[in-house]
Structure 1
Amino acid sequence: MVAGGGAVSYAAGAVRSLISNSADPIKLTILTDSEADKAAYETMVSEIGAADVKVVSEDRCDQLAQEFYRPFPNIRSFRKGHPCWRKITDPSLFVESGQEVIVVDPDLYFPNIFRFEATLPGRLILMRQHRHCLLPPSVVERAFERNIALAHHTDIGVAHHTVLPWEWLENLIAELGGADLPRVAHIESIIWAAIAMQIGGGYLRASDWLCWERTVPKRALLMLGIGGPSLFRLEPLKSVKCFHASSGAKDWLLSAERRGIFRTGKVDRTSPSPLSPFVSISAEEFKRGERMKDTYHSLLRRLGLKDPLH
């Protein structure tokens, strides 16, 4: 788990449900930022009573990365660009080469008894959503101009891999802009989407590994005054292995947990789920999606309404 200091409150739910509901023993490493953040996570872990959890500060990651990525200056620079980008680079610092890595976001919740799906050696596994998180458009367009294939529908709440293609990634970062890449979180999504098409693998079944999506009906309910945590009641929580509170919904996780919204009776969801192959997004499909977003926001402005999730 890669998580900043601001995520401690809702990460507690992720850690608690992960440890409590995994049918297999979990060895968790939490990678955070400052020493103060490290202390905050250690306190949280102690209060939960979670065993076999290690918390590591950015300084320690930096020390390991200097050696691990010595041949790759672009990767060394990239991991300092935005804290979220370290989800790609830093988990591999803490495993032997070729070992399984499962990266989990702090805004997840595991309401039922579950097992992670089997990791594919040399391949990538990601969650799936109906839309995508490929932002900003300028970097996506640069990828298309350079004939870099990007996977569609990727959600990065959970990512399985073994060895990532570091030499290829070094060149990819340079092609996308290198040190000039905008310091925004969603660059991470573009990189994962490119890796997916480069090494293959597949999507986790979306009905089991569920991503909360900010659809128009959900936006309308928020505009009507329906509280955010209550929207979680619309999700099939009894049938999921993992719930990703993405798209701003992470701010409702703590309240939802306190209100008992995740109390499902801990259904047994340990049976393996099939993967589906990655599919690419075309430049035209991406542009069409951007036009649709522009139309939606233009309509809201004309109606004098504010998008509750922006």
Structure 2
Amino acid sequence: MNRVIDNHGRPISYLRLAVTDRCNLRCFYCMPEEGIKYVPKPHLLTWEEMERTIRILVNMGVDKVRLTGGEPFVRRGIMDFLEELNKIDGLRQINITTNGVLTAPLIPEFQRLGIKSVNLSLDTLDRQRFFDITRRDEFQNVWQTFEALQEYNIPTKLNSVVMSGKNTDDIIPMAELTRTHNVSVRFIEEMPFNGDGAHEYQEFWNYRKILEELKKTYPGIYKLPDPPASTSYNYQIPGHKGTIGIIAAFSRTFCGTCNRLRITPQGQFKTCLYDDGVFNIKDLLRQGLDDASVTERIYEALQHRAKDGFEAEAQRTVGLVSESMSTIGG
């Protein structure tokens, strides 16, 4: 299959699709405590529009889709949508990012549908800290999801945002999970996508500082080869079953191999996490454009793609980054 190539020579093979902006947690680094103003349902992409968009992109060489949110499992109909995606020829991987609150009972269905991997958001193993970060007492449900993923042998990555003054004491306990579990624990630099729920940084934990903290306890930790287009620097602790990843999401060191596109719940087509959308694919579909015309718009956008997140942020038309990560899909 031929893949479309952007203007910097990067092949595009991966779509991150946010199916909803709604979430049943209120993580302070993602949105203000009072939440955000949700998009009215008629302004969201329908399941049918999302399926059509994915089919168009698969014909352009995309073979991996990750469903995100918000929290994808708060939107009704998502399991039927997964059934339909599973029928698309050429779609090699369907992956899911979830906070795990509602997900545990669905894990057997994930296995039947052939879901390739699940990213589970989990910033702490301490129930009180979980409440302090998410403003909801849901740790036990999330942990049950983790246990179910392990039971059904679904490849799992635990995503932990490292936040000064909040959960840096959890870095080593999270890393310890890799001792006995075949899981990738990924530590992520905090980003500014919190819907104007501004807070002060006591100290910014970049990827270098996170690695230094790990080396204090695990001096033998060693670098693994990073897969093509990887967003994480990957490591192994000797004797541990699982692996460690560190994602420089704010430092933006991985842009040179970026193979990803993003579509927000309301249809904003983003060629970079840090841009403010290059066009609205929902509007194109509802205007009656055929697949060939939509394909041409996507191709055109990719020929004007920013070389990295810093350039994309500088080109924004609506000012500094401040939207909630819940509205753009993690």
Structure 1 length normalisation: TM-score? 0.29
Structure 2 length normalisation: TM-score? 0.28
